[in-house]
Amino acid sequence: MASTAGYEAMRSGKVLLFYVNRDGLPLSDRCSERMWTFCMEQYPTHTNEIKALRDQKVNYPKVTYIEPPYHLATNNRLSVAEKLRQIQTYIQRLEYNYTGMQFFEINTNRPISGLMDAARHMMTEALPIKCLEAFLIAVYLTTGMIGVDRFNISFKTRFNSITYRHVVLGIRYNQIYGALGLSRRSDLAYRPLNSKYDRLSTLINDYIQAYKNYGHTVLRIKIGSPILHDLKSFLTIDWKAAVILPNKTDKEDYERELDKVSRVWRHMNLYMAYRGNVPHTSVMQPPRTLVTTASLPSRPQPTSNRSNCHQLSVTKTPMSVNDTSTAAQNYAIRV
């Protein structure tokens, strides 16, 4: 349901991170005014420049429409690495949204078909975007790349007692990993597809180190299941196939669990043709995995007292295609 104010405030505790536009496009007067006001609140030293831009009535700089690379996925003349590089270039040309008003309302529990409709809308409007919007555009443009597995890598971090969230699209091709995405910081987004990332854990550790360089503490990382190559699928994205708590887990432990998850992916059928009714047996989902310091194989595994502090923390349960995983509705990062 749309907010009566036309926008919704997204907070971390009492700290206001940004607003989400609920009135659609073009921006309503109330959303537009809230955007400009909040932008000046964010950048108080640039208030005069922001007011000048807001009040400018004529002589606007010419805006060049960015043509989306719709048919890049099926271009047989380019390597997969080059296709991914061009998609990343397109996402970066859309530019990061610094206004404090997220232009597109996104419900991550929608089926893939609905999310891909939203991605098409974003590419048509060609407005600045945030990381979740970049993620959906990357999913759309990589659909149809045979042999390419796509999955979300979602981060929850803390900086100065404020919690931030971020997401990128993980890529696997020929047992080599990479990522597509958008962030205020370049090393928290794109990772080229090259032999440097020959394990999923290597890719994840690279992001963790980048966060440490900016003073962020990584609280949690969610790894999703590979996303079907079907723009019309009624299935939802599994945002949480594995959960890593780096501060509470030995590095070797979560690396081992990530290797197990990636091995399960080899048995998944990600290139199903669109069908109105998909039988449960046609989609293999990896188990949910929670990785913490209590996941050491040699530890006792109590079976009765679930509140025991030594309770087994690697939980694996089968997941049906109808599972509606709860994911954060909006992601933000400020580093």
Strands 176-180 and 162-173: antiparallel
Active site residue 71: no
Active-site hit among 31, 39, 131, 201: 131
Q: How far apart are CA 202 and CA 53, in angstroms?
A: 44
* Burial of 110: CB neighbours in 10 Å, binned 0-12, 13-18, 19+: middle
Beta bridge partners of 142: none
- HSE (side-chain half, CA atoms, 13 Å) at 79: 8
Residue 166 known to be catalytic = yes
Q: Which residue has the tokens 């108080």?
A: 44
Catalytic residue chosen out of the listed positions 166, 201, 225, 295: 166
The half-sphere exposure of 28 on its side-chain side, counting CA atoms within 13 A, is 14
Residue in this structure with the two tokens 């890719």, named with its chain if needed: 203
Q: Is residue 325 within 8 Å of residue 236, measured between CB atoms?
A: yes
- Nearest alpha carbon to residue 246 among 157, 180, 316: 157
Q: Are 128 and 96 in contact (CB under 8 A)?
A: yes
d(Cα 270, Cα 149) in Å, to the nearest integer?
Answer: 8
| CA 98-140-118 angle, 5° bins | 60
295 is catalytic: no
Candidate list 31, 39, 154, 183, residue with the active-site label? 183
SS3 307: coil
Cα gap 94→204, rounded to integer Å: 26
CA dist., res. 19 & res. 222, Å (int): 24
Would you name the residues annotated as active-site residues?
131, 166, 183
